[in-house]
């Protein structure tokens, strides 16, 4: 696996200069968007190829994010950091019936990502120990797949500034299956336009998979 790297950069030399000045020290810099996705193709692919739906969602999230340059930046401890790789986080129910966190490095190759997903989530579940990739820009996710809710907004701690997606149970109709997602992001990292473009790209990725 290639070594990943992050480095501090000067915000004034980036397209996020104004956003950094305006939002870095704001008391509540997080923004949340909601979107209903058509996941019909994803559900069919999951069943036809015996792939986990959550894995497919995580891969599509990484794929869509890789096309939006703002995802490679992240505010950390008053600094702006630049990354050369992405990872997608998933929450794992471990053998003690508690939750652990698992960062999965994003790969353009779906088969390779699936292999990493299965191996790492199994290791985390058995060891009851988080798997963190601090040198990758991690996109957080939380799947409440057993529950029927209309939306959720993440908590801003002032420490974890990473973008975060939450979804619950998908809904079936006669002709399609839909999934409501919430997307929370730090305003220093991106504006609403980039966030909305990411969600549109996520939908395109799902439909074209």
- 90-108 per-position pLDDT tens digit: 999 999 999 999 999 999 9
Flag whether pLDDT at 128 surpasses 80.
yes
User: ∠ CA 33-153-139 to the nearest 5 degrees?
Assistant: 70
Residue 13 in any domain: the answer is no
pLDDT at 39: 98
Flag whether pLDDT at 69 surpasses 60.
yes
Residue 2 in any domain: the answer is no
Residue 12 in any domain: the answer is no
Q: How many Å apart are CA 80 and CA 1, to the nearest integer?
A: 26
pLDDT at 2: 60
Assign 152 a pLDDT band (cuts: 50, 70, 90). confident
| CATH code of the domain containing 174 | 3.30.559.10
Flag whether pLDDT at 1 surpasses 90.
no
Burial of 60 (0-12, 13-18, 19+ CB in 10 A): buried
pLDDT at 93: 95
Q: Which range marks the domain in which residue 142 is found?
A: 38-208
Assign 153 a pLDDT band (cuts: 50, 70, 90). confident
Joined tokens for residue 149? 């809710």
How many other C-beta atoms lie within 10 A of the C-beta of residue 45?
17
Q: What does the buried/exposed string (b/e) look like for 5-19 if buried means 16 or more CB atoms within 10 Å of the residue's CB? A: ebeeeebeeeebeeb
Counting the structural domains of the chain, the total is 1
Average of pLDDT values for 56-68? 98
Cα 177 to Cα 20, 43, 64, 147, 201, distances in angstroms: 39, 8, 20, 16, 18
User: Are 60 and 202 contacting, i.e. CB atoms less than 8 angstroms apart?
Assistant: yes
Flag whether pLDDT at 159 surpasses 90.
no
Joined tokens for residue 37? 């996705």
User: Are 189 and 75 contacting, i.e. CB atoms less than 8 angstroms apart?
Assistant: yes
Assign 52 a pLDDT band (cuts: 50, 70, 90). very high
């Amino acid at each position: 696996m290639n070594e990943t790297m992050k480095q501090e950069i000067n915000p004034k030399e980036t397209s996020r200069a104004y956003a950094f000045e305006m939002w870095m020290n704001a008391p509540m810099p997080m923004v949340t968007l909601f979107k209903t996705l058509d996941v019909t193709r994803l559900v069919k692919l999951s069943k036809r190829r015996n792939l986990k739906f959550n894995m497919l969602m995580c891969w599509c999230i990484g794929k869509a994010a890789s096309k939006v340059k703002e995802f490679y930046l992240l505010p950390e401890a008053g600094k702006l950091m630049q990354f050369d790789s992405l990872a997608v986080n998933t929450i794992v129910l471990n053998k003690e019936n508690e939750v652990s966190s698992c960062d999965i490095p994003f790969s353009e190759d779906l088969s390779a990502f699936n292999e990493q997903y299965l191996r790492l989530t199994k290791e985390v579940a058995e060891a009851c120990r988080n798997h963190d990739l601090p040198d990758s820009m991690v996109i957080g996710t939380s799947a409440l797949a057993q529950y029927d809710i209309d939306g959720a907004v993440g908590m801003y701690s002032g420490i974890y500034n990473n973008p975060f997606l939450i979804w619950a149970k998908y809904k079936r109709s006669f002709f399609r299956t839909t999934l409501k997602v919430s997307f929370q992001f730090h305003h220093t990292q991106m504006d609403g336009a980039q966030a909305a473009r990411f969600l549109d790209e996520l939908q395109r990725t799902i439909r074209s998979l």
